[in-house]
Structure formats: C-alpha cells, structure tokens
Amino acid sequence: MKMEEKIRRFIGSDNFFWTLLFLLSFSAFLPSLATKDFFYDDQPLVGHNPVLNGGWSSFSQLFETGYWEAVKGRTASVSEYRPFLMATFFLEEHSFGKNLMEMHALNLGLNFLAGVLLFILLRRRYGALAAKIASLLFVVFTVHLESVFLLVGRSELLSAVFVLASWLCLDSLAQKKHIFWGIFFYVSALLTKESSIMFMPVLFLDDWVSLQRISDFKFRKIIYVFLSLLSSAYLGLRFLILSRPFHGGNPYFTGFFLVKLLTLSVFFWKRYAWPGVSALGICSDFSKPLIPNASLVSWTAWGAFGALVLGLGASFYFLAARRSRGAFWILFPFWFLLPTSHLIIALDTIGAQRFLYLPSAALAVGFGFWVSRYSQKAGVRLLAASLILWQATQSFSQSLNWTTPIGFYSAAAQCNPVSAAAQYSLGVRFFEKGLDAQGLVYMRRAITLNPRYGDIWYDLARLNFDKKDFPRAQLFINKALRLNPNDSDTHILAGEIAMLEGQKKKAVLEFKRAVSLNPRNPLSSQALKWIAELKSKN
C-alpha cells in the first residue's frame, strides 16, 4: 500500500479523530497550565476557602453550606449549592496540595470529555461526520475561555459532562437504557450547577422529536417521574441548606419588564451570539454600566427583541407541529440560560460568558449538520477546518493574556472600562506586587466610577493600617462599613485598630460581630483568640 493511501486511511479513521479531538481540546487552552496564582473567584472559593483548607473532618461541610456562604457567611450576595464541584477541589487539595497545574489540567480533561460525550450523542442522530465536526468545534470555542481557564469555571464543565452522560444513559435512541446511571448523573449535575435542572424539559423535547409514535412516550414516563421527584427533592434541599435559596446577586437588567426584555435581547446578540460565532468580543466583566438599560424608542433594541421573539416563536411552532430537530437545537441554549436570565428567578449573577459552555453546543451542532449535508461541495470541508482552526487559535492567544492576575484584570478593564470592579482588582494586584503608585491610579479610577464600591475602602483602610496610619485607616473603615455593614473582614480590621489603640471594649465588640457574621472566615479563629486575650487582661 502506498504511503499516500495509508495517510488518507489514517486521516479518515476513528483513531485520527480521537487524537485530533484530544490535541485540540488541550492545546486551545494550554496556557492555563502556566497560571501561578489564584485570582478572580478562584482566589476566595478555591485558594482561601476555609472548608477546603480544613482537614478531612471538614469534608461534610461541603454538603452543609452554600457555595459562597462557606467564604462569605450568611450575608453572601449569591446563593448557590454546589457540593460536588467543591468536592473535586477538596480531593485535589488533599491529594496533591494546591497544585495549580494539576487543577487546570483537570479542567482541560473535562473539556475533552465533554467533547467525547457530545460526539457519541450526535453520532446517534446525524452520523459520524456531523458529530466529528460539531465536537471538534465545541472543544475549541473561544467563548469557553472563562469556563475552561478559570478553576471555578469547572462548574460549567462538570455539569455539562454530567448532563451529557445522563442524556446518553437515558437516550430514547440508545439500544439499551441505563436508567440508574442516567438518574445518578442527573443528580450529580444538580449538585454541581443549578441550571442543570433544565435538562428535564430538554430530555422530554428530545424524546418528542425522536420518537415516532405518541404511544412510545408511555415507556418513558418512569424516567420523567423520577427526574421530577429528584428535582423537587433538590429544590427542597436548597431551602434547607441555603439562607436565601433563590438569590442570585444584583440583577443586571433593571426597570420595567419590557425594558428588561429589550436590554436582555441586545445583550444576547452582542455579548453571547456574536462572540460565540466570531470568537471576538470575549469579556470576563459585564458590570454595569457597560450595557445600559435599553430605551423604549431604540430601534436597535426593538430589532434585537423582534429577531429573538421571531426566532423563538418559529422554533416553538416547528417543534410542536413538525417535531423539527433543527427547532429543538435552536431552543436548546435558552433552556439552560433561562435560570440565569433573572426573568423568572435569580439563580446566579447574570452576564458571564461561561454560562454559554453547554448552550454553545447548539452552534456546534448546527455547523456540523451543515457541513455533513454539503460535504461534497468544494470548499465546505476546508471552511470547516478553517473555522475550527480560527476558534482554536483565538482561544490560545486570548488564554495567554490570562496567565497572570495583572494580565487577566487588564483584559477585564480593557473590555469593560466602566467597571469599578475591574479597575479595583487591577489596582489590588499592583499593590500586591509592591507597585503602590500604579495601584493607586486604578484605585482612584474605581472610586471615580463607583464611590459606593465597598471593597475599595476596605483595601485603602488595610493599606493605611499597614503603614500604621490608624486615623486614616479608621476613616476608610467607616466608609466601608456604611456601604457594607455585614463584612466580617472590615469588622476584624476595625477591631485590630481598636485593640492597638487600647480600646478593649470596642475591639471585643468588633471581633464578636465579625465572628457572628462569618464564623468560617479564616480570620475568625484569630479574632476569637484576641477576644480571649482581651478578656483575660480585664
């Protein structure tokens, strides 16, 4: 056999596809392995999480407290319950220590696994070529940058893996069902990320377009009953564990419901759809006022809203009347985005592009189906290869900007120059590097953008405390507490100042207040020691 023929056969073989899928899924986000620091949400939730830093006896606390409540206490602004996600970090830390390369490598592995599961699912429906193209594109999407690069983005990766695994086990097109494992993976998805609960309507609609006879649904009833019962039990568990079971931070889209819908429509096309298709416009910070409330007389807003309503309306019609699988995939992203839209309830902070991880599978499926349908036409396969390569190179190049905290927050400040949080966080990182002059520049910008951003005043208080300028530090503490009276770190710092100035009663009161607000705060144990020392001196 000639060498050229061998090469052609290898390229067309399954071994070549699996190798290519593995290499693309890892290489696209390879720079993440060079990350040396915890930053963004990785810092509090993974790097400084008191539950993760405790011994094996603290493992059960992962199931007894909320995702953010473990580090912020009962005053956490976002109420989430993700014990399976946190268990992966706990097991990593107690097996390998805080090894950032190993942690990021697991994220890369989950991205590859999600691509594998998506391929198997799609091959049953559209054949090998469509499934290959879709899964190759899926694992390199630049809009997945936040999900794959950030450690806390693992919530998206892991929940997607569990949802796809459950789907495969319960799939009506499978020759053999694995109901137990399907239910197990569904429960695992729920305990990893809240929006996984939307898999239930997705599975039902998938059955609707897949099964030829209505009578076939009779054999699926037991699955729907089990999923419904487990979903209800999960919601009940949230009520038992979380102080505020349905609270997702400050809503991004405010005002009348119509204004909210118009603004949401503009946001969807500009910040979700366009970056997903083009790999451009990737941003990790959508803090207000980057996207202002839409005007009721804005033709752009009404056009975005009209296009969204027309697309969804037509899709629902073709799904109901003709059982269109194309309509199913057009609607697919919106089921998983609905819980974070704040239109019904608030389950998460709105706007992050990491929410697109599983929903973006619809884009990959659509492109894979189009390529398989027109694969015999000249240039179609070349176009497919070019698009996959474009997304992969954009993912790699933009990953390079995120390997350091300063690089990450510089990119955030560049894509959202009106974000006080981005300016503030960049300033903090310059302070940590000992570059106080540069840090103050960004702190002042943050104050100008949002003088009510409480963390700014706390860090300025800490900066002056370290310089032993206690009167000025107390001034900033007072401002921080007026904005956020329930921040335990600020009360501890106020107690430290009072203790050093000989105000024992005030110090004890501040320390007690801090411990009551967040007993799991790593500084709370030190505050309790100071309380005991101060009382022993009386």
Q: What is the pLDDT of residues 244-274, one digit of tens each?
A: 777 766 667 777 888 889 988 999 999 999 9
Q: What is the pLDDT of residues 25-63, one digit of tens each?
A: 999 999 999 998 998 889 888 988 888 887 888 888 889
Name the domain count of the chain.
2
Question: Which domain does 504 fall in, by range?
Answer: 451-536
Q: What is the pLDDT of residues 335-349, one digit of tens each?
A: 999 887 777 766 666
pLDDT score for 304 = 95
* Phi and psi at residue 248, to the nearest 5°: -120, 35
Residue 458 lies in a domain: yes
**The domain boundary residue, chosen from 241, 273, 297:** 241
The least confident of 244-248, 297-301, 371-375 is 244-248
Whether 229 shows a pLDDT value over 80: the answer reads yes
pLDDT, the chain, mean: 88
User: Distance (Å, rounded) from C-alpha 489 to C-alpha 486?
Assistant: 9
What is the average per-residue pLDDT within 279-305?
89
Q: What is the pLDDT of residues 452-502, one digit of tens each?
A: 777 788 888 888 888 888 888 888 888 888 888 888 888 888 888 888 888
**The domain boundary residue, chosen from 241, 273, 298:** 241
Residue 434 lies in a domain: no
User: 6 falls in which pLDDT band (50, 70, 90)?
Assistant: low
244 burial (CB, 10 Å; 0-12 / 13-18 / 19+) is: middle
Residue 185 lies in a domain: yes
pLDDT cut 70: percent of the chain above it = 93
Residue 249 lies in a domain: no
User: CATH number of the domain that 462 lies in?
Assistant: 1.25.40.10
Residue 177 lies in a domain: yes
pTM score above 0.85: yes
> What is the number of alpha carbons within 13 Å of residue 386 lying toward its C-beta?
6
Residue 298 lies in a domain: no
pLDDT score for 155 = 95
pLDDT score for 251 = 66
Residue 359 lies in a domain: no
Residue 360 lies in a domain: no
Residues 6+ apart with CB under 8 A from 51: 58, 61, 62, 65, 70, 86, 90, 520
User: Distance (Å, rounded) from C-alpha 17 to C-alpha 179?
Assistant: 29
**The domain boundary residue, chosen from 206, 241, 276:** 241
